[in-house]
Amino acid sequence: MPAIRIDLFEGRSPEVKKQLVENITQAVVDTLDCSPDAVDIILNEVPKSHWATGGKLWSEPRE
């Protein structure tokens, strides 16, 4: 059973997250030839103040 973990910024609507997991599930089913019931997806919503790229928090102003 594949388990997929996705880290993303918090704040997306339930509808957007639903569409995301439906699309990813279908891609896994098509690629691995497995049942949708075998696909687990875990969404980890992270505040921008807890995520940094290039030494800069995403909660800080960007150029």
Catalogue the active-site residues.
Answer: 2
DSSP 10: S
Q: Which two tokens stand for residue 53?
A: 């790229």
Q: Are 48 and 9 in contact (CB under 8 A)?
A: yes
Residue 31, classed as helix, strand or coil, is helix
